[in-house]
C-alpha cells in the first residue's frame, strides 16, 4: 500500500470547507462520507468507500450546535465498526473547553465529559488547536497533538511592520499567552484587569501598563460575544493608544459580536478559520490553518515529530 493510500481524510458537514483545503495541501482526495438526516432531527453517517486497515483522519470542529459533536462521535463509531486501523479526530476548535474545572459547587466539567465521549466512541488520537486550557490534554487517555494558532497569526502580525507595538491580554487569565507573543515579537506587555457581572457580561476593566502612542495588539484564544475584547479596545483607545487590533484563534462570534466589533475602536479583528464565519464584518480577517493541520497529518502518518512546527 502506497503512503498516500495508507491514510484517508473525511469531513463532517460543518468543517468541510477546511477539510477540502487540508486535502489540497496534502495532495489527496477528500473521502466520501454521507450524512443521512431524518425528519425528527436524528441523523446517521455512512462511509461510501472501504476504510478497512486505513488510518482515517476525521475533520470536524465541535462548535455549537451540539449536532457537530454528535456527528463526529458517529463518524468515529462508524470508522471503528468499519475496521479502520487508526482513528484520528482532527478538531480545530474543541468546544466545551471553557468548562475545564469545578469553579463553583454543583457544576459540570464539560471538557472532561467530551474527552470521555470521544474515547468511548473509539478515537485513537486527537489533533486540536489552542485549547482554552492546556490541562484539557490530560483529560484524554490517548495522544493529543496540541497545535497553536500563533503559527499563522505571528507571521501576519510581523507582516504589518507596526512601530511601537504593544501586546495586550484582555484579562489576567490570558497573560501567559500574551506574554509568549510579546517575548517572540520583542515588545512590551500590557494587561487588562476585568470584573464580570455574570458569564459573557463584563462589569468593569482597568489597564495595567502604558499604551499611550502605541499600536496595541490584543491577544486571545476565543472571541464569543466580543464584549471583553471590544471593551478592552475602547478603553485602550481612550487611554491614548494610536491603534488597536485584536487576534484570536477561534471565531465563535455569537449574539451581538459582529455589531460590537464593527462599532468598536478596533481597526482589525484577526481569526483563524477553525470555525466557519458566515456573518460578514468588514473588520474581520481570517487566516487559514489548513497547511498547518495538513503538515501535522503528514508527520503523524510518517511517524515524525510535530514539535518543529511550533513557532512558540
3-state secondary structure 110-130: HHHHHHHHHHHHCCCEEEEEC
> pLDDT higher for 27 or 227?
27
Percentage of the chain lying above the pLDDT 70 cut: 95
Look at residues 177, 192, 182 and name the one whose alpha carbon lies nearest to residue 132.
Answer: 177
> Given a cut of 90, is residue 206 above it in pLDDT?
no
Packing angle, helices 67-81 and 110-121, rounded to 10: 30
Residues involved in catalysis: 194
Q: Which of the four pLDDT bands, split at 50, 70 and 90, describes residue 200? A: low
> Given a cut of 60, is residue 14 above it in pLDDT?
yes
- Cell 509568549 sits on residue: 180
Q: What pLDDT score was predicted for residue 193?
A: 81
Look at residues 158, 163, 166 and name the one whose alpha carbon lies nearest to residue 182.
Answer: 166
- The highest-confidence range among 73-87, 89-103, 166-180, by mean pLDDT, is 73-87
| Residue 111 grid cell | 471538557
Burial of 201 (0-12, 13-18, 19+ CB in 10 A): exposed
Average pLDDT over residues 224-251: 94
Percentage of the chain lying above the pLDDT 90 cut: 82
Q: Which of the four pLDDT bands, split at 50, 70 and 90, describes residue 1? A: very low
Whether 171 contacts 192, CB under 8 Å = yes
Question: Is the backbone of residue 106 left (phi > 0), alpha (psi -120 to 50) or beta?
Answer: left
Q: What pLDDT score was predicted for residue 4?
A: 56
Q: What pLDDT score was predicted for residue 264?
A: 95
Q: What pLDDT score was predicted for residue 202?
A: 56
Average pLDDT over residues 237-245: 96
Average pLDDT over residues 91-105: 92
Q: Which of 19-23, 121-125, 228-232, 286-290 has the lowest mean pLDDT?
A: 228-232
Instruction: Spell out the alpha helix ranges (H) of the chain.
Output: 16-26, 67-81, 110-121, 150-160, 175-185, 227-238, 257-263, 290-301
Q: What pLDDT score was predicted for residue 205?
A: 77
Average pLDDT over residues 200-211: 77
> Given a cut of 90, is residue 174 above it in pLDDT?
no
Instruction: Spell out the alpha helix ranges (H) of 186-278.
Output: 227-238, 257-263
Average pLDDT over residues 240-259: 95
Amino acid at each position: 500500500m502506497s503512503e498516500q493510500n495508507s491514510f484517508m481524510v473525511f469531513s463532517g458537514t460543518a468543517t468541510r470547507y477546511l477539510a477540502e483545503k487540508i486535502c489540497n495541501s496534502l495532495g489527496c482526495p477528500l473521502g466520501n462520507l454521507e450524512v443521512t438526516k431524518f425528519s425528527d432531527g436524528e441523523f446517521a453517517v455512512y462511509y461510501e468507500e472501504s476504510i478497512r486497515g486505513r488510518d482515517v483522519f476525521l475533520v470536524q470542529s465541535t462548535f455549537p450546535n451540539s449536532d457537530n459533536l454528535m456527528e463526529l462521535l458517529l463518524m468515529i463509531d462508524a470508522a471503528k465498526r468499519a475496521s479502520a486501523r487508526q482513528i484520528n479526530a482532527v478538531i480545530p476548535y474543541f468546544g466545551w473547553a471553557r468548562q475545564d474545572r469545578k469553579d463553583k459547587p454543583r457544576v459540570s466539567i464539560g471538557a472532561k465529559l467530551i474527552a470521555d465521549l470521544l474515547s468511548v466512541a473509539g478515537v485513537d488520537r486527537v489533533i486540536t488547536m489552542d485549547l482554552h486550557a492546556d490541562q484539557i490534554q490530560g483529560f484524554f487517555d490517548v495522544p493529543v497533538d496540541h497545535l497553536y494558532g500563533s503559527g499563522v497569526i505571528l507571521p501576519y502580525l510581523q507582516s504589518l511592520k507596526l512601530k511601537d507595538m504593544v501586546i495586550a491580554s484582555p484579562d489576567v487569565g490570558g497573560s501567559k499567552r500574551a506574554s509568549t507573543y510579546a517575548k517572540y515579537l520583542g515588545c512590551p506587555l500590557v494587561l487588562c484587569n476585568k470584573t464580570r457581572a455574570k458569564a459573557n457580561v463584563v462589569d468593569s476593566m482597568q489597564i495595567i501598563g502604558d499604551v499611550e502612542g502605541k499600536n496595541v495588539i490584543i491577544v486571545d484564544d476565543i472571541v464569543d460575544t466580543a464584549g471583553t475584547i471590544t471593551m478592552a479596545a475602547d478603553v485602550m483607545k481612550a487611554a491614548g493608544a494610536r491603534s488597536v487590533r485584536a487576534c484570536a484563534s477561534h471565531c465563535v462570534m455569537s449574539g451581538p459580536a459582529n455589531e460590537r466589533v464593527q462599532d468598536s475602536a478596533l481597526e482589525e479583528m484577526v481569526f483563524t478559520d477553525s470555525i466557519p464565519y458566515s456573518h460578514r464584518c468588514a473588520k474581520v480577517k481570517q487566516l487559514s490553518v489548513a497547511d498547518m493541520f495538513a503538515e501535522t497529518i503528514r508527520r503523524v502518518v510518517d511517524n515524525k515529530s510535530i514539535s518543529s512546527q511550533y513557532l512558540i
